[in-house]
Structure 1
């Protein structure tokens, strides 16, 4: 009983720390009109600032497992949370936009480290014991933190200005750091060990890249929707607080629906059908907002669709990788994920600046969802063909 209680305490700590990461990530999107007026920048610059949070993942994701084995989960989690706090504090202190870029990169290094090592820590604590439930809870800290930022930060800024909003993000990072430093401990059975030799080859590698791009494109489309949603709605005449609140509806619905997508796929055996259904609902929500229909149903559809397909999509890598290449394969999976999610907001901001409207970012999101359908068909074909190739 004591060990079971410890597992759930560690999960709660990691949930709070990762919520702080999501809150910090979404800070720029939630406050984008204030960043524009305060620093005299355009939507393309906002897209760059949003995407920079993921930039360190291109370098950190791949060696994350080996770093954990060498230095231990707690040290890296504390370091990651401390870097998030340092970046948050720097954002509060600097005056120019260049300083915000530096602060964003520092916080992003910490956020990526926390995300990669935190996922491993959850797996260590819950291996063979309710791991699906634990992972669903842990993953939901992301939409929860983003929705919290959208709901809270504009109101805080309305009361005390941009500095108060930046300070609240740093304070939440400090809470996560304190919990990790004082209460977190690694799972007793957590083991390091050498990484398996060899990479996935042939059809396995192609299937892995396709699966990674599906997950990356879905996340990039979601980031475009909730990062530029407030800007689009304010351009259409809504106040910032109302625009952010409506945009946050997508994240609340995602947090509510995510566990059910995995349950539905498991019980029906129709994983790909659930993914396609989720993508269709997601795309319908994007299009309805783009053409000017009432935004509340559109953002709700975005959240429901993402929630339906998120869990089943994350089963695709295991379906195309064998045990000997799974560790390095997953490192490649997350490297591609971070590369795409870095470029997605930058592309959305560029399109918004080119068209003169944040609606351009929603056009990009619709295209990404369409590409996911084509990539899923490729993964289905590779899985159906079977593992004919072998690692070299």
Structure 2
């Protein structure tokens, strides 16, 4: 699952990794690039909620395989033409597959680890995201410089094929996750609101994260860096996040203070992002960002499991990802628009810092909802 989901991240990050060359070939502005990045998540607004139901009907594994095939089809379509409309359509098709994969795989991890080290397991799972994007930032600019954008698309398609093979022939579901005939579950309004709040936190956290790897390379190119050097330097954030994400999940499980880790991590991440957009010595700040940025991820992803039962997990994760995908395309588009309007990609990073600071406030609302749900579940005396 880690390798297959890393293909999802690799494909998502491919546009930001080669944004300068893509802008030249397509005649696109930073605002256009932001839209193209965001369109990958756009299908999630409509598909995330029924995605859980689709998985329930056809099976988690079969739905994930269909998602990987859609990702492959979208990438090959983008490779077939430099037309802007074809790029958009290909990105939407690929994103549709990515949404199915993301919703169902998160539920599959919860099936394996709920009641055990859930924050640690989720942290290792979501770690596939920074790893996939880090590899795209290091590898794809070099491929683009050596062989062009056609080779970039083929590299992305190749990783998707590897994920497809692993999920088809290696993955197995836990016996407890096998569907029970006639099993149904319903969500209370309090649970729905709590899951939406958790999805909103995940959305804003990822928008802040996306501003780094989507517009960070362009910011350094504006300062005179080469595209390959800029991508490699920003990828350090993702490589260090590959360490800080599981560390944050482990600390959340060990200390039982996941909320504190979310608050401290988001605030620290925001402050360092602002510093990165203004700092002269880039490398020390990049290292600091990577060390801090991954800490909240596992604790955030464990929030839905606190309010969802096994019978409601599929539909609950659909709601979680609906909130996530509803905001993500808007966030990346706003970041690109701000960068174009102000004339610098650093504006997108500043925007990312602002949305990160909203996460602790929404977490406070989530905790109040959970407390209210727990009180309502107590027997009356």
For normalisation by structure 1, the TM-score amounts to: 0.88
Q: Report the equivalent of 1:5.
A: none
Q: In the alignment, is the contact (CA less than 8 A) between 1:261 and 1:312 conserved in 2?
A: yes
Shift of 1:125: 4.7
Q: In the alignment, does 2:341 pair up with 1:354? A: yes
1:287 counterpart residue number: 274
1:320-350 residue CA offsets vs partner (Å, 9 max, x unmatched)? 5577755533321111011111211111111
- For the structure 1 residues 385 and 185, does the alpha-carbon distance in structure 2 shift closer, same or farther, using more than 3 Å as the test? closer
Alignment partner of 1:192: what SS? coil
Q: Is contact 2:192–2:319 with CA below 8 Å preserved after alignment?
A: no
Matched, 1:200 2:188: yes
- Are 2:230 and 1:243 equivalent residues in the alignment? yes
Does 2:4 match 1:17?
yes
CA deviation string 1:151-199 (max 9, x = no partner): 1001111111111112111111122223333444444443224574543
RMSD: 2.3
User: 1:316–1:15: structure 2 CA closer, same or farther, 3 Å change rule?
Assistant: closer
- Cα distance in 1 for residues equivalent to 2:69 and 2:236: 30
**What is the alpha-carbon distance in structure 1 between the residues aligned to residue 61 and residue 202 of structure 2?**
28
Q: CA deviation at 1:132?
A: 5.2
Distance 1:300 1:200 in 2: 43
2:354 to 339, 357, 367: 367
Pairing 1:217–2:181 present: no
The gaps in structure 1 that reach 5 residues or longer are 1-13
1:104 aligns with 91
In structure 1, the partner of 2:142 is 155
Q: Secondary structure of 1:63's partner?
A: helix
Q: How many residues align?
A: 376
Paired residues of 1:285 and 1:300 also in contact (CA < 8 A): no
Q: Which shifted more, 80-89 or 67-76?
A: 67-76
Q: Distance in 1 between matches of 2:312 and 2:7?
A: 32
Where does residue 80 of structure 2 map in the other structure? 93
* Residue in structure 2 matched with residue 166 of structure 1 by the alignment: 153
CA contact (8 A) 1:66 1:195 kept: no
Distance across 2 between alignment mates of 1:200 and 1:294: 51
Q: Distance in 1 between the 2:315 and 2:372 partners?
A: 23
CA spacing shift, 1:178–1:329, aligned 2, 3 Å: closer
* Gapped regions of structure 2 (runs ≥ 5): none
Query: In structure 2, how many angstroms separate the alpha carbons of the residues matched to 1:131 and 1:386?
Result: 21
Q: Distance in 1 between matches of 2:261 and 2:237?
A: 19
> Does the 8 Å contact 2:70/2:94 carry over to 1?
yes
CA contact (8 A) 2:119 2:298 kept: no
The 1-side partners of 2:107 and 2:219 are apart by: 37
Question: Are residue 175 (structure 1) and residue 132 (structure 2) matched?
Answer: no
Displacement of 1:307 in angstroms is 1.6
Deviation at 1:92, TM superposition (A): 1.2
